[in-house]
Amino acid sequence: MTTMITLDSMTRAAELLARASRVMVFTGAGVSAESGVPTFRGAGGLWEGHPVEQVATPEAFAADPLMVWRFYDQRRVNLAPRRPNPAHQVLARWQERFASFVLATQNVDSLHEDAGSRGVLHLHGSIWRVRCCRCQEEREDRTAPFPALPPRCSCGGLLRPAVVWFGEPLPMDVLETAMVASERCEVLLVVGTSAVVYPAAGLVEVAASAGASVIEVNPQASALAWLASVALRGPAGEMLPRLEEALAERTS
């Protein structure tokens, strides 16, 4: 016990991972911050003076599809040249390292996939997919910017971003797979999320109450930091490569 207390957080986190075979990672906007993608909350997290809670809703889209599309079109333009950072890269390498490794993200960018991660559980959809409000057809579309807003489907219906807005259900199969993984994992790494948006944040509560060790990687304490056994307080792009090194030292 005394040793555990004197060990630094990085060593303790590496020790937890070294002993684990079932690892889950839950990411949020902060994991992409060092790629130049703005987070939602805090400084700069506004669109035309509105908090995200007022723009990312079906009601806002119904009232003013052009305003909502300007928000998404601008984000797509900003995202297109962004590249994965060292945090995404470490997580992509870890899918080979553990017997079971599940990566669930709230992010709608594709930076985990761009780094090489496969089978990522996208809890809040993808900004690179659109869905028709009339015929419901959904497809990938990487046009950025769209030549005219709001974009329309070949059937004439209004297209919308295939993301999950407030008040909308998460894709049931994705959420269920993530919930099962959170119940079964031995270690849950929570990276770059404020953990205020549900049901996604519930994954942390489920994992912790099922006995998993929670490691939080975030320069600031999240709303669920109290559930973490270890906190790595720094940017993910620095903390995860250091954790990977500490893990290599323990297992070599």
Residue 199 near ligand BJW by CB under 6 A: yes
Question: Which one of ligand BJW, Zn ion, none is in contact with 108 (Cβ closer than 5 to 8 A by kind)?
Answer: ligand BJW
Residue 193 near ligand BJW by CB under 6 A: yes
Sites for ligand BJW among residues 118-137 (CB under 6 A): 124
Q: Which residues contact 39 (CB under 8 A, 6 or more apart)?
A: 28, 29, 30, 33, 45, 192
Residues in the chain: 252
Neighbours of 164 (CB within 10 A): 21
- Which of 218, 230, 232, 247 forms a contact with ligand BJW (CB under 6 A)? 218
CA distance 83 to 36: 9
Cα atoms in the Cβ-side hemisphere of radius 13 Å centred on 77: 9
Question: Which one of Zn ion, ligand BJW, none is in contact with 135 (Cβ closer than 5 to 8 A by kind)?
Answer: Zn ion
Question: Among residues 199, 251, 239, 241, which one has the least CA distance to residue 215?
Answer: 239
Residue 211 near ligand BJW by CB under 6 A: no
Sites for ligand BJW among residues 39-98 (CB under 6 A): 39-41, 45, 52, 56
Instruction: Respond yes or no: is residue 88 known to be catalytic.
Output: no
Query: Which positions touch Zn ion (CB under 5 A)?
Result: 132, 134-135, 153, 155, 157
Sites for ligand BJW among residues 4-33 (CB under 6 A): 28-30, 33
Catalytic residue among 88, 112, 122, 124: 124
Asked whether 61 and 161 are in contact (CB, 8 A), the reply is no
In the complex with ligand BJW, which residue's Cβ is closer, 20 or 33? 33
Question: Which one of Zn ion, ligand BJW, none is in contact with 198 (Cβ closer than 5 to 8 A by kind)?
Answer: ligand BJW
Asked whether 185 and 23 are in contact (CB, 8 A), the reply is yes
Q: Which residues contact 124 (CB under 8 A, 6 or more apart)?
A: 106, 107, 108, 163, 164, 170, 200
CA distance 252 to 245: 10
Residue 176 near ligand BJW by CB under 6 A: no
* Catalytic (active-site) positions: 124
Q: Point out which residues bind ligand BJW (CB under 6 A).
A: 28-30, 33-34, 39-41, 45, 52, 56, 106, 108, 124, 163-169, 192-194, 196-199, 217-220, 222, 235-236
